[in-house]
Amino acid sequence: MAKKKKRQATRNKRQVKKVAKKRVVKKTAKKKVAKKAVAKKQAKKQAPELSLEKIGEVTHYFPHVKAAAIMLLKDGLRVGDNIYIKGHTTKFKEKIKSIQLDRVPIQEGRKGQEIGLLVKSRVRQGDSVYKI
């Protein structure tokens, strides 16, 4: 009987050690995952607009044709330029394929003009436009 109790006690100790070891491994794995998540969030916070200058703002979006009306606040914008559109739920880069002013295609938009651009994703009024 004493031998059986000893064996059972050692088995229990081994099981406790295994469980404790698993918990430690899980905790360290969770910490690593948490660190990666924090690093990703910090990378997202360091958005490209920090080094870019705002050149315009979205004034309207036309969902049927996927076009945005943009008021140019600074500089000009040409066909072929790359832009970055950032808003509360909007965040994407795009190359300008066409620009329109009063439904007439133009090659360059200037400061103070409200131009129309084709965009690949939905934008919202008030979204910022940056030139890359």
Q: Which pLDDT belongs to residue 26?
A: 62
Q: Where are the domains of the chain?
A: 1-46, 48-131
Q: Give percent above pLDDT 90 in the chain.
A: 57
CA–CA dist 32, 25 (Å, integer): 11
Q: Is pLDDT larger for residue 84 or for residue 51? A: 84
- The model's confidence at residue 21, banded by pLDDT at 50, 70 and 90, is low
Separation of CA 43 from chain center: 9
Q: Report the top-level CATH class of 48-131.
A: mainly beta
- Candidates 98, 8, 86, 5; CA nearest to 49 is 86
pLDDT tens-digit series, residues 29-65: 666 777 777 777 666 655 554 578 899 999 999 999 9
Mean pLDDT of 75-97: 94
Q: Are 87 and 107 in contact (CB under 8 A)?
A: no
